[in-house]
Structure 1
């Protein structure tokens, strides 16, 4: 049985092939080196959240949609133990797919956790106009959306649409844990 990382690597290679792009084409479009892209597609390295964000922008799909495409499909109920978890050790980001995966649905729920001091930036939205609702469960999070910084703490909820860069920073002292509802435009 292939791991989620193996399925992700294969899906990224499929997306590039579907468009008829070479690795050089993808490197030019994403700003990621050809060698790194090759290693990611072969499953030699796991992409960081930042790198995956760049690829999602090029492929015009939210990260959650891409990860849904490599998860099991069809279940209406997914128990906690069966929810897919993806970890980016470099940035300190852990992403849990809470919603049962289905590529045709317009909304999904994701749980995010950032370790203290973690700093994660995305240059552009994967899908311009993507609506998001971020509800803080624990800790504190400095979220910058289109140049405007929001200092969020447990219980706060911020609704926004993605049109430009975003930055997630956990100032500490504990981890930041939040639910993110993504709604396709």
Structure 2
């Protein structure tokens, strides 16, 4: 970004917050792949100095540059930009927590801490009616980390072929790679917290 005054254009001393988050995410991606600036330059065809300036938010990356980097990192531009959205609001009021109900299965889902592109975790409150039985054929993301903490009632969780029986206060921790099933054996409904962390 440039600031204009009577003496001409000079660099703005405070970089755009989106450029700062984007630069940090680009640096993270390079680090996750274990590449040096030189290695990324070879893979992308972008000079080391340009990559370095983009990661330090000294320059605002062009669409063409981002497109090249997205190709190298195997993601769409939309995915990359969603990862650098504005910081999420720190406080989510109860009235603002989305609630979804599956009446056919007797499942109510409250998104206590909704997902956000800039965060890896989310919190969900689940309520299952007595006798409710929900099966998932696969996780939305392989290797998804889940912590299931039962607040009230009984819950049976099947991870692939292993069945876990949970009562009040019990917590099951797992990474989900295959099918899972949530069942409330009754006689009372089950209420639980599900903490989800993307890999």
TM over 0.5: yes
> What is the TM-score with the length of structure 2 in the denominator?
0.55
Q: Which runs of 4+ in 1 moved over 3 A?
A: none
> What is the TM-score with the length of structure 1 in the denominator?
0.59
Give me the whole-angstrom Cα distance separating, in 1, the residues matched to 2:134 and 2:164. 15
Pick the structure with greater CA Rg. 2
Alignment of 1:47-58 (within 5 A): none
Task: Check if 1:81 corresponds to 2:112.
Answer: no
Give me the whole-angstrom Cα distance separating, in 1, the residues matched to 2:110 and 2:98. 6
Aligned length: 113
Give me the whole-angstrom Cα distance separating, in 1, the residues matched to 2:122 and 2:139. 16
- Contact kept? 1:75, 1:101, Cα under 8 Å: no
Task: Check if 1:111 corresponds to 2:125.
Answer: yes
Alignment of 1:1-185 (within 5 A): 74-185=88-199
1:80 Cα offset (Å)? 1.2
Structure 1 residues 163 and 138, CA gap change in structure 2 (3 angstroms): same
- Contact kept? 2:88, 2:118, Cα under 8 Å: no
Give me the whole-angstrom Cα distance separating, in 2, the residues matched to 1:178 and 1:103. 24
CA displacement, residues 99-158 of structure 1 (integer Å, 9 cap, x when unaligned): 155232101111000000000000111111000000000000010001100000010001
Structure 2 residues not aligned, in runs of 5+: 1-86
Query: Which structure would you say has the larger RCO, counting Cα contacts within 8 Å and 6 or more residues apart?
Result: 1
User: What is the root-mean-square deviation of aligned Cα atoms in Å?
Assistant: 1.3
CA displacement, residues 142-181 of structure 1 (integer Å, 9 cap, x when unaligned): 1000110000001000100001100000001111100010
